[in-house]
Amino acid sequence: MSLSWTGGERIQKLPKLVQPLAVLTRNLIQLSRPLIARPQAKSQAQTDPKVFEYRNPGEIHYRESRIEVYKKLAFGVEGVCENGVEGDVAEFGTGSGSTARVMACAISEFDRGQNGAPRKLHLFDSFQGLPDAEAETDQESPLVKSGVWGKGSCIGASKDQLTKFCAKFLSEERVVIYDGWFKDTLPQIPQGTKFAMINIDCDLYQSAIEVLDYIFSQGFVQEGTYIFFDDWNCNRASSAFGERRAWSEVEEKFAITYTDCGEYGRDGRKFIIHSYDKVGK
């Protein structure tokens, strides 16, 4: 897919200050269209008109919400690139591959190189869906108890598909894919790695705490790192479950100081890290 970062005739008629945002929004919509559609809704609609009538409005809402997510992630990449935050971009939980694709596109557009080394995109996923919810915290969470977050659920793009999505924007050596459970792949991150931006789409508390505890204890996070949580408001937005609980525990353990940048999309939240105690309490 070829994207243009210049405005068309209609965009050029807009005030100059808003033209860059209009161009970015147009490109993000083009990127997301083939990825955010729900194939199961289409097949069900062919045999059950009632399903189509019910799901179509929800799908429109879903698309609008995801477009906001894509914009925030793209602006995040632009922010760390333009503000001199060194390091790579990482995503834990790649799902359909849509957010990885957007971040790859943004890196190709905004990265000007850091000390001669282009930024890499690190992508972590089991490619087997969610693991079994072994932690008691997860077993008691609403989405696990209801079966929405069951073992093997939320499976998305395959490793090969993810590679193809990102290869449209970044060379092979700039995309590092870690195939397996987080507990097994986290130790594969080279020592000395720095992350300028991290997107956490881990769903479960156990997965999120594994990631957060490891990246802070190993010093992969630095001053100015952007951290995005994709599932912040899931499980009724309760601080007892999921990413909210994992963050509160890590925040206390490592005495993290940060700026809370607020919500985005339907369920997401963004933070900027200022300092923390690598040793932890």
Strand spans (E) along 76-235 = 88-92, 121-125, 175-179, 195-200, 221-229
Least confident of 54-63, 106-115, 155-164, 272-281: 54-63
Q: Pick left, alpha or beta for residue 123 (phi over 0 → left; psi -120 to 50 → alpha; otherwise beta).
A: beta
User: Which tokens hold the place of 88?
Assistant: 């790579």
Give the right CATH number for 76-275 from 3.20.20.70, 3.40.50.150, 3.40.50.720, 3.30.70.120. 3.40.50.150
pLDDT > 70: percent of the chain: 75
Amino acid at 132: D
Taking 50 as the threshold, does the pLDDT of residue 216 lie above it? yes
Give 46's pLDDT tier (boundaries 50, 70, 90). very low
Task: Report yes or no on whether pTM surpasses 0.85.
Answer: no
pLDDT of residue 87: 95
Question: Beta strands 268-275 and 221-229: pairing type?
Answer: antiparallel
What does the pLDDT look like over 160-177, one tens digit per residue? 999 999 999 999 999 999
The answer to whether residues 214 and 188 touch, using CB atoms and an 8 Å cutoff, is no
Determine the average pLDDT of the residues in 96-106. 94
- CA dihedral for 165, 171, 175, 177, sign (positive or negative): positive
| Cβ neighbours of residue 174 closer than 8 Å, sequence gap 6 or more | 107, 118, 119, 120, 121
| Cβ neighbours of residue 87 closer than 8 Å, sequence gap 6 or more | 80, 114, 119, 193, 194, 195, 196, 197, 222, 225
| Cβ neighbours of residue 253 closer than 8 Å, sequence gap 6 or more | 213, 216, 280, 281
pLDDT of residue 220: 97
pLDDT of residue 280: 67
Residue 156: alpha-carbon gap to chain centroid:
13
Q: Taking the domains of the chain in order of start, what are their residue ranges?
A: 76-275
**Residue closest to 268 by CA, chosen among 223, 227, 240:** 227
